[in-house]
Amino acid sequence: MRSVARTIVLLITFLSLLSACSIVRLGYDHGAQLTWWWLDGYVDFNRGQTPHAKQAIQQWFNWHRTAQLPEYVDWLAAVRDQIDGPLTATQICHWSDELQSIIAPAFEQAVQLSAPVVLRLGEAQWRHLEQRYSKSNEELRHDYLQPDPEERRQASIKRTIKRIENLYGNINKVQRQLIAASIESSPFNPEIWMIERQRRQQETLGILRQLTPESVTPEQAITALQNLIEHTHRSDDPDYRAYQLKLSEYTCAFIAHLHNSTTPLQRQHAHDKLLKWETDLRALMTGI
């Protein structure tokens, strides 16, 4: 089973971006430019690399609108049909696995389109990426690795409540206590997570530095990038994979438990929210 925790966070983050129809349509229609700015902040493309990167990004968005958005809509509709009733941990994990399968082609398409661009990059870009990794890690340490255990716990509770209320609306005192108790007993360990994150970053930098036109073929570059994506979703470290599995199982059970504590009004809020997101995506599919 793939990392449910990672997928659910990805899903919630993605859906949170769809909180306003006008925003999501404007954002998606300008997605290629926004993605370019984000990627450029990480690798600092030079003048010769820029047009190739922009072209690859635009090609990906053109493909994504027709190939992926319909599948997102179908997935949301299937979840919405079941969210009014009680849920089990098995259902939550199944939805997560389905979502992973749905978005997998998006990563593969990105690999195919980005490989020629990656082969044009050099040491200046990788040094910039290394610096950006370091900055990002410091930001995450500030948010997840507070020195004071109570401050860290409260920050985790606050993040979780925000994500839950984005879907279900306001939650009550009992549900807040349920969240607090769940976080207290959760196997999530931010130190372990950060160590794995930094290990993957070093692996990524090492492999990217080997991808030069003189040393690899385009096909070999694609394979290397595919492996990096796979290790991001499923660690190549057996101990961390065991940790991922334990965390995934716990997360599924927690979400099911929390959902089953919700009121009819909260479930209606979730149902309506999913329907709105579904409607927004349908509009994007048709270019409205």
In angstroms, the Cα distances linking 104 to 108, 230, 285 are 6, 10, 19
Asked whether residue 36 is domain-assigned, the answer is: yes
Contact criterion met (CB below 8 Å) for 264 and 85: no
Backbone angles phi, psi at 171, to 5 degrees: -105, 160
Place of tokens 């948010």: 143
| Beta-carbon count within 10 A of 225 CB | 22
pLDDT at 22: 47
pTM over 0.75: yes
DSSP for 137-169, please give it: HHHHHHHH--SSHHHHHHHHHHHHHHHHHHHH-
Domain coverage including residue 92: 25-64+88-283
Number of domains in the chain: 1
Asked whether residue 96 is domain-assigned, the answer is: yes
pLDDT at 132: 96
User: DSSP character for 20?
Assistant: S
Asked whether residue 71 is domain-assigned, the answer is: no
Contact criterion met (CB below 8 Å) for 67 and 105: yes
Which residue, among 255, 146, 150, 159, has the nearest Cα to 194 in the 3D structure? 146
- For residue 77, the number of C-alpha atoms closer than 13 Å in the C-beta half-sphere is 11
pLDDT at 233: 84
pLDDT at 37: 93
pLDDT tens for each residue of the chain, 288 residues long = 434 444 444 444 444 444 444 455 666 778 889 889 999 999 999 999 999 999 999 999 999 999 999 999 999 999 999 999 999 999 999 998 998 899 999 999 999 999 999 999 999 999 999 999 999 999 999 999 999 999 999 999 999 999 999 999 999 999 999 999 999 999 999 999 999 999 999 999 999 999 999 999 999 999 999 999 999 888 999 999 999 999 999 999 999 999 999 999 999 999 999 998 888 888 888 865
